[in-house]
Structure 1
Amino acid sequence: FRLEIRKRFFARGWSGTGTDCRAVAMKAIYDEALSSFFRNVDTRSAGDGPDIYKGKICSLKARALLIDMEEGVVNEILQGPLRDVFDSKQLITDVSGSGNNWAVGYKVYGCQYRENIVEKLRKTAEHCDCLQCFFIIHSMGGGTGSGLGTFVLNLLEDEFPEVYRFVTSVYPSGEDDVITSPYNSVLAMKELNEHADCVLPIENESLFDIVNKIHHMVNSGKLGSTVKPNSLVTSSAGTTKKVQEKPFDAMNNIVANLLLNLTSSARFEGSLNMDLNEISMNLVPFPRLHYLVSSLTPLYTLADVNIPSRR
């Protein structure tokens, strides 16, 4: 961010107005909304120093732990535009993967990496002033996602019993290419019943249908009355570079927007500001009945429609 400001400043030259300079500088301020998911650190201190509050952004590091027993997916993230956001010390990978087997992910890799996972979880939690909850995002069909994902959920209950656990589970579609995905999902469901505080189910097939419907609207030529082509849901317009979209980008954008909207009431000040734990307090009537129907409306940005202002 600091480099980007410097580029913009020198591109304008010294003849730029003061208003422009202030507008550019304000975009790089580290505030409470940003601090929910990111730490503001100075990369010269190797990212282990304390957060730099109420100042300009030096370097953002996500409050996240990436775990995958197949290093290809994590390597793809580290080679993408978001590689600088993730701390290299907060990655746990292996080579072979779990072979689409829940038992391998839970029993084998869970025992093997338990101490390493606990150490990195504690290190991440120590950088938080007020740890509200954990977000676990995992797949239910694969071996690592279902097995090691639910093992981490169990681990969080043992190590941080007072902290709520929100789980976003991606369920496989009926035409899934992994033949063991039904077994993995059933075995993982038992762990979700026991150890999760709140579960937001996401289904791959539904996401795919939504994206296909939106793209059909976009390509039908009736953009004025249907949908904007550069919606946050339909494209990766927010990325720094114009790269060719991958098939799952739009599907991931829907889930990302769902989680952002879910947490916005806790990240921004206002009369509707509330603690994230109130979600499970108000929407979970019984401890084991904690599966919420996740929905998002409006799903895409409408155009030429008189929507009343929300006050």
Structure 2
Amino acid sequence: MTQSVVVQVGQCGNQVGCRFWDLALREHAHVNKKGLYDEALSSFFRNMILWKVPHATVCAGLILTHLNPQAVLVDMEEGVVNEILQGPLREMFDSTQLLTDVSGSGNNWAVGHMTYGSAYREQIVDKLRKAAEHCDCLQCFFLIHSMGGGTGSGLGTRVLSLLEEEFPEVCRIVTSIYPSAEDDVITSPYNSVLAMRELTEHADCVLPVENQSLVDIVDKIKHMSHGGKPGSAIKRDSTIISGQGGLSGTEKPFDAMNNIVANLLLNITSEVLLKQV
């Protein structure tokens, strides 16, 4: 069985990652009616026996007990990660997967890449190694980050270089969220340019996503779902634009945009997720 590890860096990366895990569970629950831990789930989740052996993994084919995402969550502000730990997904993650600070990177690529990248290097590498050790056959890393913020662009690309250094044979697929032309962060062009150079050096594949395009797509889908186009089959509570009916409670302002990116990742991994169903 092959596995993948998702690395979420920065506020945007963790928000998109939260939507990814939510939609992945909903997608698999839709087709896995027997509630079994199969090869498809093992691609992104471990099935844990918490009450017997805390860090043991249940083999495929058995009843689901406790799913643990194969993920590492990094942010130099703890707000978004704390929201995840207080939300419906809180019981899925453990402390060994999380790394946070309180001050943030001040929308400065250099602070994220150099200051925090150096200060937290060993801790980041340790968490990446532990995530990799839980995999029978590690296929790739999925890195999710933004290009405009200091942590996402700076520390995100530093994590990318560490992945190449520690796991040179493992594919690195990066989903990068680019700021729009109307972005109100004055340093976002600076951050994006410096981050792009790191992507060209260390990423095997980059999936670029632009913020304004996400806004346009969401507006168009919502217009179609309200009957703006004859014959439209998009429902108002579609997982493409809505978090309603899933693990998320009240839909948040950016859920619709983040769901577009989460669906992008789910679509490119659909063969992996559904191959045993």
TM-score by length of 1: 0.74
Secondary structure, counterpart of 1:192 in structure 2:
helix
Name the structure 2 match of 1:111: 118
Q: Distance in 2 between matches of 1:108 and 1:84?
A: 31
The aligned counterpart of 2:8 is none
Q: Deviations over 1:184-243 (max 9, x none)?
A: 0000000000000000001111011111112223335778645322222121144146x3
In structure 1, what is the equivalent of residue 239 of structure 2? 232
The question of 1:251 aligning with 2:264 is answered no
Q: After superposition, what is the alpha-carbon deviation per residue over 1:4-57, rounded to whole angstroms, capped at 9, x for unaligned?
A: xxxxxxxxxxxxxxxxxxxxx943200011111110002225742234432011
Corresponding residue number in structure 1 for 2:268: 262
Structure 2: segments with no counterpart, 5+ residues = 1-31
Tell me the CA shift for residue 103 of structure 1: 0.3
**Are residue 152 (structure 1) and residue 159 (structure 2) matched?**
yes
Which residues of 2 match residues 140-289 of structure 1 at below 5 A? 140-220=147-227, 225=232, 227-240=234-247, 243-269=249-275
AA paired with 1:252? N
Query: Equivalents in 2 of 1:268, 1:87: separation in Å?
Result: 26
SS of equivalent to 2:138? coil
Return the structure number with greater relative CO, CA threshold 8 A, min gap 6: 2
Distance 1:138 1:157, change over 3 A: same
Residues 55/223 of structure 1: CA separation in 2 closer, same or farther (3 Å cut): farther
**What amino acid is the match of 1:152?**
V
Greater radius of gyration (CA): 1
Partner Cα separation in structure 2 for residue 28 and residue 48 of structure 1: 21
Counterpart residue type for residue 76 of structure 2: M
Q: Tell me if structure 2 keeps the 8 A contact 1:62–1:87.
A: no
87-96 or 58-67: which moved more?
87-96
Q: How has the CA–CA distance of structure 1 residues 108 and 31 changed in structure 2, closer, same or farther, with 3 Å as cutoff?
A: same
Q: State the Cα distance separating 1:85 from its structure 2 match.
A: 2.0
**Partners of 2:194 and 2:175 in 1: CA distance:** 16
SS at match of 1:65: strand
Q: Check whether the contact 1:105–1:144 (CA below 8 A) recurs between aligned residues.
A: yes
Out of 125, 131, 143, the position equivalent to 1:124 is 131
Amino acid at match of 1:156: L
AA of the residue aligned to 1:235 = S
Question: What is the RMSD of the two structures over their aligned residues, measured on CA atoms?
Answer: 2.2
CA distance in 2, matches of 1:172, 1:59: 37
Q: What percent identity do the matched residue pairs reach?
A: 67
In structure 1, the partner of 2:84 is 77
Q: Is the 8 A contact 1:141 1:185 kept in 2?
A: yes
1:82-97 mapped onto 2 (5 Å cutoff): 82-97=89-104
The answer (yes or no) to whether the contact 1:235–1:249 under 8 Å persists in 2 is yes
Question: What's the counterpart of residue 101 of structure 1?
Answer: 108
1:211–1:251 contact (8 Å) kept in structure 2: yes
**Structure 2: distance between partners of 1:47 and 1:173:** 44
SS at match of 2:93: coil
Using structure 2 for the length normalisation, give the TM-score.
Answer: 0.83
8 Å Cα contact 1:41/1:52 also seen in 2: no
For these two proteins, the number of residue pairs brought into alignment is: 247
Give distance in 1, aligned partners of 2:269 and 2:236.
26
For the Cα contact (< 8 Å) 2:145–2:156, is it kept in 1? yes
Distance 1:54 1:45 in 2: 19
Q: Deviations over 1:47-73 (max 9, x none)?
A: 422344320111000000000000001
More strand by share: 2
The Cα offsets for residues 68-118 of structure 1, whole Å up to 9 and x where unpaired, read as 000001111111111122223210000000000000001110111111111
